[in-house]
C-alpha cells in the first residue's frame, strides 16, 4: 500500500497480489508485528470497513495511537519502518488490532507481561503465544513507562484528558456548516477537515485505554498471585459516572414515563407487535402530535440531543446512530417497558462495595510490601481510569457525529441527482478521489458502486478469523464462504461453556440470541442476552437482561465495563456462543467463574 498516513488519497493501488478476490482496500501484515486479532476492536468495528471509514477515520487514528504510545513511553525508536497502518490493520475486509505490538505495553512495563495484556485487552481466547525477539525490550521505554505508571496509580480524580476531549469535540461540532444552506463544497471541506481534528481526540482515548489496562492489570496480577483470578471483577467493580452506562439509565427512566402515559403505551405496544423499526419511527411521529405525550417526546428528544452520536458500528462514518435512526434507541426503551421489577442499577449495586472489601481482604495478605502499595493505589485509581476511558471514547465518537451528519446530507443531495440513497453504499467510494465527483454527478460511478456493494455484501455475510498470525493467514472471501458451510453445532444440556469472568454474579434464565441491536424486538426482561460482541448501541439492551454473554471480549472491553455499572452478570470470550446457544435454552451464567452452563434446551 502507498505510504504516508497523514495524506493518502489513492487506495485503489492496494496490493492485488493477494490470492482470491480482495476487499477494495487490503493491508499487509508487518512481519515485525505479525499477530493480529479481532478481539476488542470487533465491538467498535463489527462490520466491513468502508473506504470512507478507513481513509478519514482509521488512518488518522493509527497515527494518533502511535503518538499516544510515544507520550506514554511505550513506543520505542525503530518500532515502525513506515507510516503504513500496523496497530489498526484491515485484512479481509475487517479491522484488526495488532496483538504483537500491543503486547509491548506489557513487555516494556516493569512488573507486567505480554500475557497480562492479552487478558486485559483481548480476553484469553487462546492467542498465539508470545515469543521474545530482539528489539522488544527497551530500557528507555521502561524508564518512561515507570513514570507513566507512577502517575497513573497516583490518580485521585478524573484525568484532564477527559476535559480536553470535551472541549475539542464541542468546538468541532460548533463549526459544522448548516445542512440546509451550506454548499456541497462547504460540506465536503468540513468532512475532509475531520481527520486532523479527530486525531488528538482519538489519541486521548488511546492514552486512557492504555492506562486503564495498566492499572487494572495490577489488580489482575495481584488476584493471580493470590490464586483467586476471578476476584478481579469484584476489585474493579462499578466505577460510577461511566457515560456508556448512562444511556441505559436514562432510557430506563424514559420507559417509566412511557408506562405512565396510556397514549404512549398504546402507540409503542402497537408498533412493537410489528417487529418493524419503521413502525417505531411512525409511532414516534404520531406521538409528536399528541399533547398527552409531550413529556415523553421532550424527554426522548433530550436523550437524542445528548446521546444521539452513539449507535452500531460506532467508528464507521457511514453508520447508523440514534441521531439518524432514532428507532434504535426507541426499540431499546421499548424492551425495558415490560419489566415487572425495578431495573434501576442502584438497587442491584448495593453489595458492590461489600464484595470489593471482601476481595481486598482475600488478596492483599498474599502480596509483598511493594506490591501491597501498588495494589492499594490501583484500587483507588481504577475507577477514575475506567471513567476516563469511557468518557474519552464517548467524546471521540461524538466528534464524529457532525461529520456523519454532513456525509449523510451529501448522500441525500446526490440521491436527488440520481445517486444511491444508502450511506453505506456511497461510503464505498474513496472520499478524496471519487466522492466529490460523485456528489456532483453520480451517474458515471453507478457501476463502480454496484460492483463494490455486491462485494461488500459478500464480505458482510461471513465471519472473519479471530486471529491472523501471518500474511498467509489472511483469508480470501472464497475461503470464508466455504468455511461458512461448516457451522458450529449447538450444545447439549449439561454442557458448560468456558469464557472469561466479566462482571460478577450469577443468573439463570432463557437465552435470547441477538445478532443486531436493531432486531431485538423479542428480547424480554429477565432473559439472558447472547450477542456476538457489543458496542454502545447494545448498552440499553443490557438493562432488561438478567445477564450478558458475548463471543469475544476482555477485562476492559465495553461489555464488561457497562455490565459492571449496571450490576449485571457477564461472561465474555465464550467462543461461538451465538451458535452453540440457541434462543429458548435455559442457561446459567456465572460472571465470577466465567462459565455458561446449558440447563435445558
Tens digit of each residue's pLDDT (9 = 90 or more) over 19-75? 688 999 999 999 999 999 887 787 778 889 999 999 999 999 999 999 999 999 999
- Pick from 206-215, 373-382, 449-458 the range whose average pLDDT is largest: 449-458
Q: Dihedral angle at the C-alpha atoms of 262, 268, 269, 271, nearest 10 degrees?
A: 140
Tens digit of each residue's pLDDT (9 = 90 or more) over 131-156? 999 999 999 999 999 999 899 999 99
Residue 598 pLDDT greater than 90, yes or no: yes
Q: Which of 370, 382, 40 is nearest to 220 (CA)?
A: 382
CA dihedral over 225, 231, 232, 235, signed as positive or negative: negative
Which has the higher per-residue pLDDT, 349 or 366?
366
Look at residue 418 in the predicted model and tell me its pLDDT.
Answer: 97
CA distance 555 to 560: 6
Grade residue 585 by pLDDT with cuts at 50, 70 and 90.
very high
Look at residue 23 in the predicted model and tell me its pLDDT.
Answer: 94
Look at residue 554 in the predicted model and tell me its pLDDT.
Answer: 67
Residue 10 pLDDT greater than 60, yes or no: no
Q: Which of 212, 194, 192 is nearest to 204 (CA)?
A: 212
Residue 191 pLDDT greater than 80, yes or no: yes
Look at residue 3 in the predicted model and tell me its pLDDT.
Answer: 37
Mean pLDDT of 552-562: 69
Look at residue 395 in the predicted model and tell me its pLDDT.
Answer: 94
- Where is average pLDDT lowest: 98-112, 450-464, 467-481, 549-563? 549-563
Residue 251 pLDDT greater than 50, yes or no: yes
**Which residues, listed in sequence order, are joined to residue 508 by a DSSP beta bridge?**
588
Look at the pTM and tell me if it is higher than 0.95. no
- Inter-residue contact 162 to 392 (CB < 8 Å): yes
Extents of the domains making up the chain: 11-238+358-460, 496-600
Look at residue 123 in the predicted model and tell me its pLDDT.
Answer: 57
CA distance 534 to 559: 6
Mean pLDDT of the chain: 87
Integer-rounded Cα radius of gyration of the chain: 24
* Share of residues in the chain with pLDDT > 70 (%): 90
Mean pLDDT of 245-261: 86
User: Quick one: which H or E segment has residue 44?
Assistant: none
CA distance 230 to 363: 11
Class of domain 496-600: alpha beta
Look at residue 528 in the predicted model and tell me its pLDDT.
Answer: 95
Tens digit of each residue's pLDDT (9 = 90 or more) over 323-354? 999 998 898 888 888 776 666 665 555 566 77
Residue 160 pLDDT greater than 90, yes or no: yes
Q: Which of 168, 208, 128 is nearest to 381 (CA)?
A: 208
Look at residue 347 in the predicted model and tell me its pLDDT.
Answer: 58
Look at residue 440 in the predicted model and tell me its pLDDT.
Answer: 97
Look at residue 273 in the predicted model and tell me its pLDDT.
Answer: 81
Say how many C-beta atoms besides its own lie within 10 A of residue 454's C-beta.
9
* Share of residues in the chain with pLDDT > 90 (%): 52
Residue 358 neighbours by CB under 8 Å, 6+ apart:
234
Question: For the chain, how far is it from start to end, CA to CA, in angstroms?
Answer: 50
- Inter-residue contact 448 to 442 (CB < 8 Å): no
Look at residue 1 in the predicted model and tell me its pLDDT.
Answer: 35
Label the pairing between strands 88-91 and 586-590: unpaired
CA distance 46 to 535: 9
Residue 7 pLDDT greater than 70, yes or no: no
Grade residue 8 by pLDDT with cuts at 50, 70 and 90.
very low
Which has the higher per-residue pLDDT, 399 or 234?
399
Tens digit of each residue's pLDDT (9 = 90 or more) over 481-532? 888 766 667 788 999 999 888 888 899 999 999 988 878 888 888 899 998 8
Residue 311 pLDDT greater than 90, yes or no: no
- Where is average pLDDT lowest: 154-158, 271-275, 384-388, 392-396? 271-275
Residue 122 pLDDT greater than 70, yes or no: no
Amino acid at each position: 500500500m502507498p505510504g504516508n498516513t497523514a495524506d493518502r488519497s489513492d487506495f485503489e493501488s492496494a496490493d492485488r497480489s493477494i490470492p482470491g478476490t480482495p476487499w477494495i482496500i487490503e493491508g499487509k501484515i508487518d512481519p515485525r508485528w505479525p499477530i493480529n486479532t479481532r478481539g476488542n476492536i470487533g465491538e467498535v468495528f463489527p462490520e466491513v470497513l468502508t473506504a470512507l471509514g478507513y481513509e478519514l477515520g482509521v488512518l488518522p487514528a493509527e497515527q494518533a495511537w502511535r503518538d499516544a504510545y510515544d507520550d506514554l513511553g511505550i513506543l520505542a525508536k525503530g518500532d515502525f519502518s513506515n507510516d503504513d497502518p500496523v496497530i489498526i490493520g484491515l485484512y479481509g475486509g475487517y479491522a484488526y488490532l495488532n496483538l504483537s505490538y500491543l503486547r509491548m505495553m506489557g513487555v516494556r512495563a516493569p512488573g507486567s507481561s505480554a500475557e497480562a495484556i492479552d487478558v486485559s485487552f483481548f480476553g484469553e481466547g487462546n492467542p498465539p503465544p508470545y515469543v521474545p525477539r530482539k528489539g522488544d525490550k527497551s530500557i528507555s521505554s521502561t524508564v518512561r513507562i515507570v513514570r507513566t505508571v507512577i502517575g497513573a496509580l497516583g490518580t485521585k480524580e478524573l484525568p484532564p484528558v477527559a476535559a480536553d476531549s470535551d472541549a475539542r469535540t464541542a468546538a468541532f461540532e460548533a463549526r459544522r456548516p448548516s445542512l440546509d444552506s451550506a454548499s456541497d463544497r462547504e460540506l465536503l471541506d468540513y468532512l475532509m477537515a475531520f481527520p486532523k481534528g479527530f486525531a488528538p481526540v482519538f489519541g486521548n482515548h488511546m492514552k486512557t485505554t492504555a492506562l486503564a489496562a495498566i492499572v487494572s492489570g495490577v489488580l489482575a496480577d495481584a488476584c493471580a498471585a493470590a490464586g483467586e483470578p476471578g476476584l478481579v471483577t469484584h476489585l474493579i467493580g462499578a466505577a460510577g459516572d461511566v457515560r456508556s452506562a448512562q444511556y441505559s439509565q436514562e432510557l430506563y427512566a424514559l420507559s417509566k414515563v412511557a408506562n405512565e402515559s396510556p397514549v404512549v403505551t398504546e402507540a409503542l405496544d402497537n408498533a412493537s407487535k410489528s417487529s418493524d423499526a419503521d413502525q417505531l419511527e411512525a409511532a414516534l411521529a404520531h406521538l409528536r402530535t399528541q399533547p398527552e405525550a409531550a413529556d415523553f417526546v421532550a424527554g426522548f428528544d433530550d436523550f437524542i440531543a445528548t446521546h444521539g452520536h452513539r449507535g452500531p458500528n460506532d467508528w464507521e462514518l457511514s453508520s447508523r446512530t440514534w441521531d439518524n435512526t432514532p428507532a434504535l434507541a426507541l426499540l431499546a426503551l421499548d424492551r425495558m417497558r415490560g419489566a415487572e421489577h425495578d431495573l434501576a442499577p442502584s438497587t442491584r449495586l448495593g453489595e458492590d462495595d461489600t464484595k470489593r472489601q471482601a476481595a481486598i481482604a482475600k488478596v492483599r495478605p498474599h502480596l509483598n510490601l511493594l506490591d501491597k502499595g501498588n495494589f492499594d493505589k490501583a484500587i483507588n485509581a481504577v475507577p477514575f481510569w475506567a471513567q476516563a476511558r469511557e468518557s474519552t471514547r464517548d467524546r471521540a465518537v461524538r466528534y464524529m457525529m457532525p461529520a456523519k451528519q454532513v456525509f449523510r446530507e451529501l448522500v441525500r443531495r446526490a440521491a436527488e441527482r440520481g445517486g444511491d440513497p444508502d450511506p453505506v453504499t456511497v461510503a464505498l467510494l474513496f472520499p478524496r478521489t471519487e466522492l466529490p465527483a460523485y456528489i456532483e454527478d453520480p451517474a458515471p460511478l453507478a457501476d463502480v458502486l454496484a460492483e463494490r456493494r455486491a462485494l461488500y455484501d459478500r464480505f458482510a455475510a461471513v465471519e472473519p478469523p479471530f486471529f491472523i498470525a501471518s500474511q498467509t493467514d489472511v483469508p480470501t472471501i472464497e475461503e470464508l464462504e466455504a468455511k461458512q458451510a461448516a457451522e458450529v453445532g449447538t450444545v447439549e444440556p449439561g454442557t458448560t461453556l468456558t469464557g472469561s469472568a466479566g462482571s460478577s454474579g450469577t443468573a439463570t434464565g432463557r437465552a435470547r440470541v441477538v445478532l443486531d441491536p436493531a432486531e431485538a424486538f423479542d428480547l424480554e426482561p429477565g432473559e439472558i442476552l447472547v450477542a456476538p460482541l457489543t458496542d454502545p448501541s447494545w448498552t440499553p439492551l443490557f438493562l432488561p437482561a438478567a445477564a450478558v454473554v458475548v463471543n469475544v471480549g476482555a477485562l476492559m472491553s465495553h461489555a464488561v465495563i457497562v455490565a459492571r455499572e449496571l450490576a449485571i452478570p457477564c461472561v465474555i470470550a465464550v467462543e461461538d456462543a451465538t451458535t452453540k446457544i440457541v434462543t429458548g435454552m435455559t442457561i446459567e451464567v456465572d460472571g465470577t467463574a466465567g462459565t455458561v452452563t446449558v440447563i435445558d434446551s
